[in-house]
Amino acid sequence: MTGDIEARKLGDTDQETTVVTFGAIALNWLEQEGANQMIEHALDHGVNHFDVAPQYGDAELKLGPKLRQHREDIFLGCKTQKREYDGARHKLERSLDRLGIDTINLYQVHGLEYEEELDTITGEGGALEAFREAKAEGLIDHIGLTSHGDPDLIIIGL
C-alpha cells in the first residue's frame, strides 16, 4: 500500500504504482493554485501515478511545478497520439520542456484503435523507433501502449 491507496507492480517494471492514477486532464480547467492543491491532495492520499498528455490543454504546464517539487514521489506517464517518428519525437520533447523535467517514467502510444496502426508504429520511421532512441538517451524509462477499444491490440502490440 502507498498511503490510502493500494499499489502494485506495474507490468514488467520494478515500479510500484497506485491502482488509482491521477488524470492530469483535470488541471486544464483550474488556475495554478487550484492545480497545486489538487496535486497535493492526491499525493497526500498516496497517489503516486500521474498521467498527462499534450492534448490536455495546459495540464502539462500546471503539473510541472509540483511534479518537479515531488519528482521522486511521482511515477509519470505521458502519451502521444502520433504514430510516426517525427511527430512522436516532437511531442515527447515538447512534453519534457513543458513539464520542466529530464525523464518521463512511462511514455505511451495512445489510443490505438486499429491493427493497421501497429504497422506504422512499429515499422521503419514509426513512433516505436523514436521511443527506443529516447529510452537509450535516458529521456524515458519505459514504453507503453494504450487503447480505449480492443484489448487484443494491446496484447499483440509493442
Per-residue pLDDT tens listing for the chain (158 residues): 346 789 999 888 889 999 999 999 999 999 999 999 999 999 999 999 999 999 999 999 999 999 999 999 999 999 999 999 999 999 999 999 999 999 999 999 998 888 888 889 999 999 999 999 999 999 999 999 888 877 776 665 54
| Amino acid 155: pLDDT | 64
- Name the residue type at position 95: S
Q: What is the pTM of this model?
A: 0.91
Give residues with Cβ within 8 angstroms of 64, minimum separation 6: 98, 99, 100, 101
Rounded CA gap, 112 and 82, in Å? 10
CATH topology of domain 7-156: TIM Barrel (3.20.20)
Give residues with Cβ within 8 angstroms of 44, minimum separation 6: 3
Rounded CA gap, 104 and 102, in Å? 7
DSSP string covering the chain, please? -BTTB-EEE-TTSS-EEESSEEEGGGGGGS-HHHHHHHHHHHHHTT--EEEE-TTSTTHHHHHHHHHHHTGGG-EEEEEE---BHHHHHHHHHHHHHHHT-S-EEEEEE-----HHHHHHHHSTTBHHHHHHHHHHTTSEEEEEE--SS-HHHHHH--
Q: What are the extents of the domains in the chain? A: 7-156
Neighbours of 52 (CB within 10 A): 26
